[in-house]
C-alpha cells in the first residue's frame, strides 16, 4: 500500500505545467526513471469533459514526442492564417 501512495505522491509533486491551450486544457511533464533510464512523461488535463478532439495539432505533436519543446503562445499565433486575423 505504501508503494502506491509513494507513486501517487511522486506523480503530483514532480509535475511541471508547460502550457495551456485556447480551450483551457493544461499540459504537464515530469521526469521518471523507467528501467534505469530517465524518461519524460507528458500528458494533458482537460478543462471540463475529456474530448481528445479539442487538443490542437501543435500540442498533439508535443504529447507524442514529435516536438521536443512545448508550443509557445507566440508560435501558436503563427499557426493562424493571416486571412482570419
Strand partners, 32: 39
The whole model's pTM is what?
A: 0.71
* Each residue's pLDDT tens digit, 29-78: 998 888 888 899 999 999 999 999 999 999 999 999 999 999 987 665 65
Residue 4 lies in a domain: no
Residue 53 lies in a domain: yes
Residue 60 lies in a domain: yes
Instruction: Report pLDDT for 8.
Output: 63
Q: Judge residue 27's burial from the number of C-beta atoms within 10 Å of its C-beta, 0-12 exposed, 13-18 middle, 19 or more buried.
A: buried
Instruction: Report pLDDT for 27.
Output: 96
Instruction: Report pLDDT for 60.
Output: 95
Indicate the SS3 state at residue 29: strand
At CB < 8 A and 24+ separation, what contacts does 28-32 make? 29/70
Residue 2 lies in a domain: no
Amino acid at each position: 500500500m505504501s508503494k502506491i501512495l509513494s507513486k501517487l505522491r511522486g506523480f503530483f509533486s514532480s509535475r511541471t505545467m508547460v502550457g495551456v491551450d485556447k480551450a483551457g486544457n493544461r499540459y504537464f511533464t515530469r521526469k521518471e526513471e523507467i528501467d534505469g533510464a530517465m524518461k519524460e512523461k507528458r500528458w494533458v488535463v482537460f478543462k471540463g469533459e475529456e474530448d481528445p478532439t479539442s487538443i490542437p495539432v501543435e500540442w498533439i505533436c508535443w504529447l507524442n514526442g514529435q516536438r521536443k519543446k512545448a508550443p509557445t503562445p507566440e508560435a501558436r499565433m503563427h499557426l493562424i492564417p493571416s486571412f482570419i486575423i
